[in-house]
């Protein structure tokens, strides 16, 4: 708790310094305008209008002029210190998030689609109990993957050919009919779906990939290995 209070105090001190510097700059600017405004005004003045030529705008020069005051308001040392504080807070938040996930998630279902050249992994759902309390029922004849694309997102949809139940609670759980696809996975997944591919569901206990079982949905058409039942009964 002590280091947290110290960090908060340090941030408040930095903010106070920034505000004081801004206030001093405003006061100096006000005094300067007051001193220059005390000159004797001219009664008669003749002005001549000179032709104005517009110079080309240099984008880089304008950008440097607009952001050049940042180094005056915030010294480099303060910026480095703030970046370090934000990095520490991000690491702590990430660790708290992972520890919370480990407490509430005991089993993960991951869809794997691939061939002999590569594969794509898509998280399907998270379960609060270990794998032995769940049973998958798969109707292989109705499995049909459809890749749905939009401007800003994509998803992989299949028909309602998979259901999952909790045997301890005698409860049928809703199985998602689609999974989101990340942008950098879209090209490879599209290529896989256009050709011969296999599909299976990884059943990962906790977050350790070493403790994993697989449920094969279908194999490559030219596969000669006999399909084996690795997880609960299917129909």
pLDDT tens, 203-218? 888 766 667 788 888 8
Specify the 3-state DSSP secondary structure of 26. helix
Per-residue confidence band for 83, with pLDDT thresholds at 50, 70 and 90 = confident
| pLDDT (0 to 100) of residue 206 | 73
3-state percent breakdown (helix, strand, coil) of the chain, nearest 5 = 40, 25, 35
Q: Give 176's contacts (C-beta < 8 A, 6+ positions apart).
A: 124, 125
Q: Using CA atoms, how far apart are residues 166 and 229, in angstroms rounded to an integer?
A: 19
Residue indicated by tokens 């779906």: 193
Structure confidence by residue, pLDDT tens digits, 46-70: 556 566 566 666 676 766 666 666 5
17-31, 101-115, 173-187: which range is least confident on average? 17-31
pLDDT at 40 over 60: no
CB contact at 8 A, 124 and 202: no
Q: Using CA atoms, how far apart are residues 121 and 68, in angstroms rounded to an integer?
A: 46
| pLDDT (0 to 100) of residue 121 | 92
Q: Using CA atoms, how far apart are residues 217 and 199, in angstroms rounded to an integer?
A: 5
- Torsion, CA 104, CA 106, CA 111, CA 112, rounded to 10: 130
User: Tokens in use for 193?
Assistant: 């779906």
Mean pLDDT, range 215-222, rounded to an integer: 79
pTM above 0.75?
no
DSSP 185: G
CB contact at 8 A, 167 and 134: yes
H or E segment to which residue 110 belongs: strand 107-114
pLDDT at 158 over 70: yes
Mean pLDDT, range 21-25, rounded to an integer: 66
**Residue length of the chain:** 235
Report percent pLDDT > 90 for the chain: 8
Q: Using CA atoms, how far apart are residues 126 and 161, in angstroms rounded to an integer?
A: 19
User: Tokens in use for 135?
Assistant: 């049973």
* Average pLDDT over the chain, rounded to an integer: 75
Backbone angles phi, psi at 75, to 5 degrees: -60, 160
| pLDDT (0 to 100) of residue 105 | 84
Cβ-count burial of 45 within 10 angstroms (0-12 exposed, 13-18 middle, 19+ buried)? exposed
Mean pLDDT, range 122-126, rounded to an integer: 90
């Amino acid at each position: 708790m002590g280091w947290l209070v110290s960090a908060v105090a340090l941030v408040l001190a930095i903010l106070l310094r920034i505000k004081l510097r801004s206030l001093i700059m405003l006061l100096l600017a006000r005094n300067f305008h007051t001193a220059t405004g005390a000159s004797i005004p001219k009664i008669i003045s003749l002005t001549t209008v000179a032709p104005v030529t517009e110079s080309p705008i240099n984008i880089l020069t304008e950008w440097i002029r607009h952001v050049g005051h940042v180094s005056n308001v915030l010294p480099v040392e303060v910026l480095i210190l703030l970046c370090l504080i934000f990095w520490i807070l991000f690491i702590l938040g990430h660790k708290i998030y992972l520890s919370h996930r480990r407490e509430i998630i005991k089993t993960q279902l991951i869809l794997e689609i691939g061939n002999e050249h590569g594969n794509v992994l898509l998280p399907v759902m998270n379960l609060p109990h270990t794998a032995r309390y769940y049973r998958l029922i798969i109707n292989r004849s109705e499995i049909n993957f459809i890749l749905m694309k939009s401007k800003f997102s994509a998803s992989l949809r299949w028909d309602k050919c998979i259901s999952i139940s909790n045997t301890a609670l005698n409860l049928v759980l809703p199985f998602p009919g689609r999974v989101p696809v990340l942008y950098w996975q879209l090209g490879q997944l599209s290529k896989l779906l256009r050709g011969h591919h296999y599909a299976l569901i990884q059943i990962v206990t906790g977050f350790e990939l070493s403790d994993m079982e697989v449920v094969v949905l279908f194999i490559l058409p030219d596969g000669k290995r006999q399909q084996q039942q690795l997880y609960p009964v299917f129909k």
